Amino acid sequence: MRAIVLEKFGGLDSLVYRDIPEPEPKAGHAVIEIKAFGLNHAELHMRRGEWAEAAPVSGIECVGLVKFCPGGEFPVGAKVAALMGGLGRTINGSYAECTRVPVSNVALIEADLCRGLSWRPFPKPTPRPGPACSAIWRSG
């Protein structure tokens, strides 16, 4: 699977695309096919090596579909949100196509909350970078 991997501690250039093995199913965990993930300020500190722990794949939160859940806590195909639980710190996080998260850190997204929403990608950004890009460059 494709992932954004922390090659070394440092700036944005330390993040590289790599093919890595997909996480194996494990009791007490859910493997999630990631549909979206957040960019969190904590990940900047992990990337720079300022915190004690950083997994090769960063990202401490995501939403997606359950791919495997050996304990049956969530049905395969369920829409879920996941955060923390070691994501990006002690286990590979959400900057990937899939991740494996402790079920205690996964929440079912009820269908009625998602009415009319889809997983299709957002449109491409306009040629003008805007505030989000400048915030990334400044945090660098």
Q: Which residue has the tokens 């286990």?
A: 91
In our burial notation (b when 16+ CB lie closer than 10 A, e otherwise), range 54-91 reads: bbbbbbbbbbbbbbbbeeeebeeebbbbbbebbbbbeb
18, 11 contact by CB (below 8 A): no
What is the spatial distance between Cα 108 and Cα 63, in angstroms, rounded to a whole number?
Answer: 10
Residue 112: predicted pLDDT: 57
Residue 28: predicted pLDDT: 96
Could you list the mean pLDDT of each consecutive 10-residue stretch along the chain, which spans 140 residues?
92 91 95 91 86 86 95 95 89 94 93 58 48 44
Residue 105: predicted pLDDT: 94
- Scanning 30-140, the segments in alpha helix (DSSP H) are 41-48, 130-139
Residue 126: predicted pLDDT: 44
pTM comes to: 0.79
Residue 18: predicted pLDDT: 93
Phi then psi for residue 21, to 5 deg, are -65, 145
* Three-state DSSP class for residue 116: coil
Torsion of CA 11, 17, 23, 29, to 10 degrees: 40
